[in-house]
Amino acid sequence: MKRILVSLLVGFFPAIPLLADSVDLVTIRVKGTNIDLLPEVVNVMVSDPVPAAQQLVAKGGSANKGWPHYVFYKSVLYIFEQPNSWKTQGTHKFKDGDVLYTYHAESDAERKAFAKKYKLKAYDQLAEREGSAPLLYLASPGHYVIILVKQTAYTCSMHPGIIKSVDGKCPLCGMDLVAVGVYR
């Protein structure tokens, strides 16, 4: 079985995080953590997102044409964002070079088991985004983990931008909303 060692080297050349990867046949390790499971999404905080994303594209990643700071690379989506694009409910402020690893859990029990397995301690809570405020875990300085939990939401099949936490009718067309699973 092949296993991938993902190492996110947060060095600066000129003030842009450098990203490196290597193949290891023994373990998966996510830099800055003791986690042996690749994240689905890696958010990299950087003042100038597009040039940072272009570095990863040059290494073989593929960028989304409409969103050049979104890069899919080695089965992981990297999103390069300015540090002030993420807010917490506490006093924490993200800075250049900080990295957020996002994992998805099917239930709150699975989220708690994941946090316990990897000895993650709740550090802060993110400010509400899209109707939720997930916990932010500190893995090591500059390396954070978010575990999103699958929840039921309701949307309109004609207007997918309409997302409600309770069943009902679409405010635009009056159609019945349909249940969908979302991670929050």
Q: Which residues contact 60 (CB under 8 A, 6 or more apart)?
A: 73
DSSP-derived letter for residue 132 is B
**Cα–Cα distance between 89 and 78 in angstroms, integer?**
24
pLDDT at 178 over 80: yes
Nearest to 42 by CA among 50, 34, 31: 31
Q: What is the pTM of this model?
A: 0.69
**Largest CA-CA distance found in the chain, in angstroms, rounded:** 55
- pLDDT tens by residue, 13-52: 223 333 344 323 234 568 888 888 888 889 999 999 989 8
- pLDDT of the residue at 128: 62
Neighbours of 159 (CB within 10 A): 14
* Domains, the chain, ordered by start: 37-149 (3.10.180), 153-183 (no CATH)
Which of 52-56, 150-154, 171-175 shows the lowest per-residue confidence on average (mean pLDDT)?
Answer: 150-154
